[in-house]
Every structure is written in C-alpha cells, then in structure tokens.
Amino acid sequence: MKKILSLLFALIALTSYAQKTLPLPIDRVEPQNWWVGMKHHDVQVLFYKHDANLTEYQPSLNYPGVTLKEVVKVENPHYLFLNLQISESAQAGIIPIQFKLGKKTFTHSYELKNKSTAKNRIQGFDAKDVLYLIMPDRFANGDVKNDSLPGFYEGVHRDKPFGRHGGDIKGISDHLDFIKELGVTTLWLNPILENNQKRESYHGYAITDFYKVDKRFGSNEEYVALIEKCHANGMKMIQDMVINHMGNYNWLMLDLPEKSWVHQFPEFTRSNYRSEAVSDPYHSKSDLDKMTNGWFDKTMPDVNQSNPLFANYLIQNTLWWIEYAGIDGIRMDTYPYPDKDFMARWMQEILNDYPQFNVVGEVLVNSKPMIAYWQQNLINKDGYQSHLPSVIDFPLTNAVNAALNEKGSWDGGLSRLYTNISQDFIYPDPNGNVTFLDNHDMSRYFHNVGRDMNKFKMGLIFLLTTRGIPELYYGTELLMDGNYSIHPTVRMDVPGGWKEDKVNSFTVAGRTKEQNEAYDFMKQLLNWRKNKKVIHEGKLLHFIPEDNIYIYFRSLGNETVMVIMNGNDSEKKLPTARFAEGVQGKTKAKNAMTGEVIQNLSELTLPAMTALVLELE
Ligand code: CA
C-alpha cells in the first residue's frame, strides 16, 4: 500500500512539473547530444527556430557537473548558442535546459551519453588496408521507396547522366559480400550527407545538412547499421567530409546566423583553384585570398572557418560523426581550400580525442612537394604544421598512367615509377599516403590503359605491392572504362544494382569472361595482400630500371617479396646478379599469383607486359 501511495505522489509531482514547463518549440538543436568522457568537453550548442526571436529567451540549467558557461547571441535572432562546460564528474543523463520567456518556462531535454568503449570501432586505417571508393548513388538501389521523396528537389531520373539514379546505403549493404569477397578492407563512400540541391545533387559534395544522411540514401540509423555490419565483417568505414564549402540550399545558408559565416563578395567570386598559392613562399595576398575565400561554385558558397562560432560548429560536427557512427577514418575534400590554421586545429582536436584515428586529405595537384606540405611532421619553411596524417598521392597516379603507356627510355616508361618513388624523401610518411589508379574525378584506369588487360594487371600489382594505402574505385573489378572528358561516364551505375537491369555483374554468371578474369585476378591479389605484413610495412628497395624493366623488393624480417615489372611488348631474359642486395642469397621463389615454384633465381624469364610477384625462399 505504501508503495502504491508513494508512486501516486510521484506521479502527481511529475504531472504538476509537466504543467509548469512546456517543451521548447524548436526547429534545430545541434549537436543534438554530446558525450561524457570526451576531451572536447566545452560544447557549443546551437538552438534555432526560423520564426522565433530566441534572444528573448533566458536559458539556465541545473545539472551536476555541467555549467552553462556562456550564452551567445548573434545578428540573426533565430539563433542562440549555449556553451556548456561538461566536467569530468558529470554523469550521462538528460540535462533539462530551461528557457524563460516572460512568465512561461520551456524546457529542452539535452542528452549526455557515455562515450563508447566498444572494441572494433574507430580503428583508423593504414597500409594494411585497401580502400574501396563507392559513389553511393551509382552502386546499387536497395530501396526504391527512398528514390523520390517529398521535400527533396531531385528525385530519380536514371536516364539523366547528371541526375540521381537511386543508389543507396541499403544497396551497398546488400552487396557487402561482393565487396568483402573481392578482398578490400575499407569502404570510402563519396559524401552521404544531405544534398538537397536543385541540380546535380547525386555526387554529395554540396551538403545542405551537416548532421543528416541524405534520406534518399537512407537514415542516420541505416548508415550506422552499415558501419556496424562492416565492423562485424572485419571491414572499416571512411567518411568523406566537406567543410570548405556547402550547398547553397544548406539550411544555414538560407538563414545565416551571421553574414560572416560565408565569405561575402560584392559580386560572385570564384576560387582560382590554385592550391600552390597556399604553400608558395612568394604568393600575393590577393591570389591567396581568392584561392581560399572564393566560392567553389555558384551553388557552393565558401565557408568561413575563421568565424569562431562556425569553426566550433564544424569541429564538433566532425567529432559528433566519429563518436555517433563509429567511423574509422575521414577523407577530407579540398584540403588546401579552407583556412589552414583552422584545419590544423580541426585535425588536432580529432587526434586529441581519437589518437588512433586517420584522416586523408585531398590535395589535388601533380606535385610531390605541394602535397608533402600538408602531411604532418614536415618541417615547412613557413612554420606550418598540419597535423594531417595522410595525403592522397596524385603524382603517383599520374606516374603510373604515363608509365604504362610510354615506351621505355631514360625517364619515360617504367622509369616514371622509379623517379616518382625515388623522391619520397619529401614525404614524412610515404607509406601513409593513399595511393590509387583512378577515382571519381578522373578517367577510369581501364580506359587509361587502353583496355589492355596485361597493362591493367601490371598497374594493379604495382599499386598493391609498393608503399602506401591503396584505394580502388568501384567497378575497376568490372572493367568499367569511362572517360572523364565525358564526365558522368566515370560514374556509371553498376549493372545489376537495379532490379530492371538486364545483367547482374555482382554474380559470376552475370559477368563477361573478361570481367571474371579481372575480378578473379584482383580477388586473388587482394586476398594475398591482406595478410602480408611484408607488404604493409616492409622495407622498400628498388633499382634503376634498365630496358624498361623495373624491379623492387619489400622485406620484413626473414620475408622478402620481389616484384618485377616488364614494360616491354616482348619476352625478356633477366639475369638477377645486379639485384643481389634484394635477393639476399635466397635461391628459390614462389610466384604469389600462380603458385609456380622457381628453382633457380639466377636468370628469370619475363613474359611480355607482365609483372611477377615472387616470394623468395
Ligand atoms: Ca533508392
């Protein structure tokens, strides 16, 4: 009876409390929650209501371990920023934040969660991994119900090359077995956050909501479920992020908190896209300003990262995605374009909370020193320290594509690979570079090698056995061959990803003989690479090419792998005495791809336009 009575009193107390305070009518609260146990414990919470004057509200809170340090009002009264200080003693729970307006009191329940301690989450990535880049709109349509949704400008028009085609998270999840079987370890999806733009919203680089997965790809929850599925399958996820610019239909852009959240000009001013202005010791200020402050496009306003509120917003947004979704790494778009001091702070804040994390920055230039400038630990003359662990290795890609298409010469043909790698002294950590043969912004690799299967295989062997963290673009294994000068042809749908497709290239029976040859070759090489520590971290030793034959070794402890690339259209005999430093007295070898045992290493027979991967014994 006593119990029932006390329950009744509690209920009455709760009801009267509920009568006094109303839920705060609000459009947005960002970040929607935070975590205890984070090193980033001063959290700036944005409150927004499009038709209210929030500056008239007086916020307060009473929660053990949490202090309302500051209330920031901005030009636009639809916004209010609350700075919460979360001490180490704070416990997870719901913080009732009260807002007084005249005699009324409203409450917003702000959730403080515990930082996750689960294993296999937020692992980072390195040269053990092979990345598989997917353009989500073009991979597979797992859910036709999300193709065209109310409230979104663009629906599915599969016949339009620049339109949305309907691919989604479920399509990727449904085909994870196909990806896993190929032998890659890590997914990198082109940006999956909301792009509710009027045109060309499929590629994802014009974000309209920094906290939401585009509903046409799926929900935040579906994204997290895909990441958990990856982790359960021993795979990882890299999130593609963009903070240099946003979509002009970003909700922030439509009702800016302050004019200074984006770079403003009297008339439309485009970036000059000349990244060298950032690292150039002789740059003019006007060139640099145009580079970093000019808009990426009319539909992509330039974010001002030197606005302190927006800077905090972006950093917290990144930390929020890492902790919320458990991603393993980030690929950051247009790395030299934002304010570089902000980028260094952004990177430090990530590593401060997640020391095991990895970020790769896109510096799209064909110059090793210009890329190296952005990798952490390089002593730059201007004193800049980026703290960025990894950079995308564009110069190596260009070297491979030239090397496979030229006749051998002093500096042409396979000498290109030697010359490129020989300049690695410029990189603080060349093995941390993300290496690749193609991506969504260039002609497909199979197109570049003139649909030549021998060259195709040779370049893949190079990519997967030299230093670096390799990335493969979806469809390489299916010999997709688009030309970037006809732009969308490099971003084609995977046949079989759509129910109406006549062939299903996700199955052996649905692939051509040539496609199966490519798929099987890559599968074998990738699965071999997966457990080869000697490739992941072994010492690299190479020799100056002669007669368009390039030879290098990877060695670790007692293990040695010898790679021989013959770039000639004819068979060659190769005496190996010159390579004694690499062979280290070993006399036998096993061909990693064919299993063939070579009993005598003193002279090797090299088939035309072929690379051999030999495990020395
Ligand atoms: Ca769909």
CATH number of the domain to which 27 belongs: 2.60.40.10
How far, in Å, is the centroid of ligand 1 from the Cα of 139? Answer: 10
How far, in Å, is the centroid of ligand 1 from the Cα of 35? Answer: 33
Q: What is the pLDDT of residue 21?
A: 78
The fraction of the chain above a pLDDT of 90, given in percent, is: 96
Q: Do both 518 and 572 map to the same domain? A: no
Q: Mean per-residue pLDDT for 353-370?
A: 97
Identity of the residue numbered 426: I
Residue 572 has pLDDT above 80, yes or no: yes
Q: Taking a C-beta distance cutoff of 8 angstroms, is the pair 378, 372 a contact?
A: yes
Q: Do both 69 and 136 map to the same domain? A: no
Q: Do both 473 and 500 map to the same domain? A: yes
How far, in Å, is the centroid of ligand 1 from the Cα of 447? Answer: 29
Q: Do both 143 and 232 map to the same domain? A: yes
Identity of the residue numbered 143: D
Residue 16 has pLDDT above 50, yes or no: no
| pTM recorded for the entire structure | 0.95
Residue 56 in any domain: the answer is yes
Q: Do both 413 and 496 map to the same domain? A: yes
Q: Do both 475 and 606 map to the same domain? A: no
Domain boundary among 480, 500, 531: 531
Model confidence pLDDT, tens digit, residues 378-431: 999 999 999 999 999 999 999 999 999 999 999 999 999 999 999 999 999 999
Residue 463 in any domain: the answer is yes
Q: Mean per-residue pLDDT for 243-253?
A: 98
Residue 179 in any domain: the answer is yes
Q: What is the pLDDT of residue 11?
A: 53
Q: Taking a C-beta distance cutoff of 8 angstroms, is the pair 61, 97 a contact?
A: yes
Number of domains comprising the chain: 3
Residue 125 in any domain: the answer is no
Separation of first and last alpha carbons in the chain: 82
Q: Mean per-residue pLDDT for 358-371?
A: 97
Q: Taking a C-beta distance cutoff of 8 angstroms, is the pair 614, 560 a contact?
A: no
Q: Mean per-residue pLDDT for 548-577?
A: 98
How far, in Å, is the centroid of ligand 1 from the Cα of 495? Answer: 15
Model confidence pLDDT, tens digit, residues 151-171: 999 999 999 999 999 999 999
Domain boundary among 114, 140, 156: 114
Residue 509 in any domain: the answer is yes
How far, in Å, is the centroid of ligand 1 from the Cα of 237? Answer: 20
Q: Mean per-residue pLDDT for 177-205?
A: 98
Distance of CA 347 to the CA centre of its chain: 14
Q: How confident is the model at residue 26 (pLDDT cuts 50, 70, 90)?
A: very high
Range of the domain at 366: 131-531
Residue 124 in any domain: the answer is no
Of 376, 303, 314, 308, which is closest to residue 337 (Cα–Cα)? 303
- The average confidence (pLDDT) of the chain is 96
Q: How confident is the model at residue 119 (pLDDT cuts 50, 70, 90)?
A: confident
CB half-sphere exposure, 354, CA atoms < 13 A: 26
Residue 121 in any domain: the answer is no
Q: Do both 542 and 527 map to the same domain? A: no
SS3 71: strand
Q: Edge-to-edge strands of the sheet including 390-391?
A: 390-391, 358-361, 329-332, 236-241, 186-189, 131-134, 469-473, 434-436
Model confidence pLDDT, tens digit, residues 43-65: 999 999 999 999 999 999 999 99
Choice between 560 and 487, residue whose per-residue pLDDT is larger: 560
Q: Do both 102 and 230 map to the same domain? A: no
Which secondary-structure segment (H or E) carries 126? none
- CATH number of residue 328's parent domain: 3.20.20.80
How far, in Å, is the centroid of ligand 1 from the Cα of 578? Answer: 57
- CATH number of residue 606's parent domain: 2.60.40.1180
Model confidence pLDDT, tens digit, residues 96-107: 999 999 999 999
Place of tokens 């034959």: 549
How far, in Å, is the centroid of ligand 1 from the Cα of 472? Answer: 24
Residue 126 in any domain: the answer is no
Model confidence pLDDT, tens digit, residues 219-235: 999 999 999 999 999 99
HEC letters along 225-292: HHHHHHHHCCCEEEEEECCCECCCCCHHHHCCCCHHHECCCCCCCECCCCCHHHHCCCCCHHHHHHHH
Is 258 a known active-site residue? no
Q: Do both 183 and 256 map to the same domain? A: yes
Domain boundary among 480, 505, 531: 531
Q: How confident is the model at residue 7 (pLDDT cuts 50, 70, 90)?
A: low
How far, in Å, is the centroid of ligand 1 from the Cα of 305? Answer: 34
Q: Do both 402 and 298 map to the same domain? A: yes
Q: How confident is the model at residue 9 (pLDDT cuts 50, 70, 90)?
A: low
The fraction of the chain above a pLDDT of 70, given in percent, is: 97
Residue 590 has pLDDT above 70, yes or no: yes
Q: Do both 68 and 109 map to the same domain? A: yes
For residue 425, what are its two tokens?
A: 């002294």
- Given 129, 362, 481, 493, the catalytic residue: 362
Of 550, 418, 526, 553, which is closest to residue 471 (Cα–Cα)? 526
Q: What is the crossing angle of helices 453-465 and 394-403, to 10°?
A: 150
Model confidence pLDDT, tens digit, residues 479-493: 999 999 988 899 999
How far, in Å, is the centroid of ligand 1 from the Cα of 462? Answer: 36
Is 333 a known active-site residue? yes
Residue 249 has pLDDT above 70, yes or no: yes
Residue 606 has pLDDT above 80, yes or no: yes
- Given 143, 154, 328, 333, the catalytic residue: 333
How far, in Å, is the centroid of ligand 1 from the Cα of 475? Answer: 19
Q: Do both 252 and 174 map to the same domain? A: yes
